[in-house]
Amino acid sequence: MKISALKNQILLKKSFLCIGLDIDLEKVHASIKATEDPLFEFSKAIIDSTAAYAVAYKPNIAFFETYGSQGMASLKRVMDYLNKNHPEIFTIADAKRGDIGNTATRYAKAYYETYNFDSITVAPYMGKDSVEPFLNFEEKYAILLALTSNEGSSDFQIQKVGSQLFYEKVIQTSSQWKGSDRLMYVVGATKANAIKGIRNLIPDAFLLIPGVGVQGGSLAEVAESGLNQDVGLLVNSSRGIIYASTDTDFASKARDAAYDLQKQMQIILEKKRLI
């Protein structure tokens, strides 16, 4: 997908909402568990009820991998369904891969070609030869882990490297790599105070922002610091939407939660005169 198509969807839907498909079958209703392919059926129900408000979906690969070949077959069905019925929606493989050379290329081929994702999350720890293979595919994007919101992020990401923090060094260095015009960056919503500085380093890149909602991140604060002239944000909500209810009304409650976030985003975009 060309990035222009994503930008068009943001303006059309007045939304920069990404929905994470972190599907824990222990949390879904018994009626879904009883189906032949519960991972697919739950995903399809969420997609059908929320696609009017979302510009991106982010399946969490671990929640499919845990069920082995059957889970990965479900992932393929989810992606085939999304690409057939909602080709305008940007897709993210939340896989956090990170290896070098031919291995990175095979990871890229798996998710870009076999599963037909538009993008994949990538860990930058091993440097450019672990990331550039993901940038060798036309109209495909790598989303680099930059500043995450987990407790252990302080172990490395905010340590000093010379005059910079480590995450700043990662962002600045990666922006010079081949194909960096197709790099996006993960920044946790609970790190909103750092987003303005990150925007100074990468004014034009898209930021994927998880952590709004259940994890306590503020949509208003993220938008205030992170919006650029093209919006430039994908704000992700997973549990707050897909588990808005664990009863038979889970799909309609997911729709309500997605609609609520979309409306908040629309107000922000209108105030910023971006739509």
pLDDT at 214: 59
Q: Which of 47-61, 116-130, 160-174, 209-223 has the lowest mean pLDDT?
A: 209-223
pLDDT at 190: 78
Q: Which residue has the higher pLDDT, 147 or 189?
A: 147
pLDDT at 191: 78
Whether the pLDDT of residue 217 is over 80: the answer is: no
**Structural domain boundaries enclosing 57:** 3-271
pLDDT at 88: 94
SS3 263: helix
Whether the pLDDT of residue 213 is over 90: the answer is: no
């991998």: which residue's tokens?
65
Give the chain's domain count.
1
pLDDT at 212: 76
Q: What is the pLDDT of residues 96-128, one digit of tens each?
A: 999 999 999 999 999 999 999 999 999 999 999
pLDDT at 62: 98
Q: What is the pLDDT of residues 232-250, one digit of tens each?
A: 999 999 999 999 999 999 9
> What count of Cα atoms within 13 Å lies in the side-chain half-sphere of residue 268?
24
SS3 of 95-141: the string is EEECCCHHHHHHHHHHHHHHCCCCEEEECCCCCHHHCHHHHCCCCCE
Q: What is the CATH number of the domain that holds 59?
A: 3.20.20.70
Active site residue ranges? 96
pTM over 0.85: yes
